[in-house]
Amino acid sequence: MHEPTESCDLLGKSAQELRALAESLGEPAYRGAQLYHALYSERRSDFAAMTNLPAALRERLARDCAIRLPRILRTHLSSDGTLRYVLALSDPDARTANRAGSATVETVFMPEENRQTICVSTQAGCAVDCHFCLTSTLGLIRNLTPGEILGQVLVALADHRDALKPQTNVVLMGQGEPLLNYDAVMASMRILLDPNGMAVSPKHVTLSTSGIIPGIERLGQEKIRPKLAISLNASTNEQRDKIMPINRKYPIEKLLDACRRYPLRPWEKLTFEYVLLGAFNDSTEDAQRVVELISHLRAKVNLIPWNPGDLPYEKPDAGRLEKFRRTLADKGVPAFTRYSRGQDVMAACGQLALLESARSNLAQISSAAS
Ligand code: SAH
Ligand code: SF4
């Protein structure tokens, strides 16, 4: 017996890669397509259950390969039904393992009446440094692999196997900046959105970015892609600079130019997210400036009242929030207030900083220092 090697972790491999793998094992290429079907369409993580493959091949795969799903370390159930997972990722790279231990990451499952929404992380931690977001306090621990991004969806679906609703939504709004882990994110999206793969509709998958312009331009060229949401969060460059240092590199006017050029599909709208920070960016003048910035775009705005963390900001006042929303709506900009779910278990937007991972990083750093 030998430990499966990293190259033989099947999770995250494309149909083409699995066909090549089948051939490398001396099997016909179509066995790879069958494996793809079993892994992603039937969502099997146990080779023995892949009954569309011959028994001898199943045994060989079980011996030589692995399907490394993230492991559930802990779950936190919110009073509103939201479930936050703390998942352990096996760390294939000894260099990052030294720095961060085996990385942990967070995934949030939100059950609704006719659907479930799964919020996945694309990086462990984040380098972007938005000052209102707890994830930023972790810094970037590491990029996730395509298998680790898909694995979060698979684990959350498997954990609710008996109570799944007909529709699954996936939002790339957990830890990390998806467009700074572009290749892995898109490799996972091609499998998630593939009708022969996990078959989630592109209308039900949203990638949220802090506004990485080269990534937005690249995404627009992809044939298969999720919807796009942009975290605007401010109405002037001066204001945005203060809370999102990335704005100095990609300022509002250039960001909106990229949005103007973005090739929307006929059914598609851009989403702008706007985190309301009390008495900072929630005035009626701010709302009016947002209208001026985006009213020429096919877009809607999601207003997210700031979720508290240990950071020096305030929740917005309910009256100001509603006035802000109405100012947009009255000027023809569709605007919706999104109360984040799962706040009592730190599962809401911007709260995914994993106290335990911060702690384990500190332990690593202090043990490395001693
Ligand atoms: N990195 C990506 C996606 C993850 S953050 C991005 O920034 O877009 C997902 C959303 O949560 C973003 O719109 C972000 O602005 C918002 N957010 C971050 N911290 C928040 C907080 N404390 N309260 C409310 N929303 C927050
Ligand atoms: Fe990173 Fe998004 Fe948080 Fe900004 S808001 S630090 S980009 S996760």
pLDDT at 287: 98
User: Average pLDDT of 212-218?
Assistant: 98
Is 83 near ligand 2, meaning CB less than 6 Å away? no
Q: Which helix (H) or strand (E) holds 284?
A: helix 284-294
> Ligand 1 atom closest to Cα of 350?
19
Is 133 near ligand 1, meaning CB less than 6 Å away? yes
pLDDT in tens, 67-97: 999 999 999 999 999 999 999 997 655 444 4
pLDDT at 91: 65
For 234-260, give the secondary structure using H, E and C: CCCHHHHHHHCHHHHCCCHHHHHHHHH
Catalytic residue among 65, 126, 259, 349: 349
pLDDT at 137: 94
pLDDT at 79: 93
Q: Tell me which DSSP letter residue 39 carries.
A: I
- Please state, in angstroms and rounded to a whole number, the distance separating the CA atoms of residues 361 and 370: 14
Is 207 near ligand 2, meaning CB less than 6 Å away? no
Contact 287, 258 (CB under 8 A): no
User: Average pLDDT of 228-232?
Assistant: 98
Catalytic residue among 27, 106, 148, 177: 106
Residue 106 is a catalytic residue: yes
Of the pLDDT bands very low, low, confident and very high (cuts 50, 70, 90), residue 102 is: low
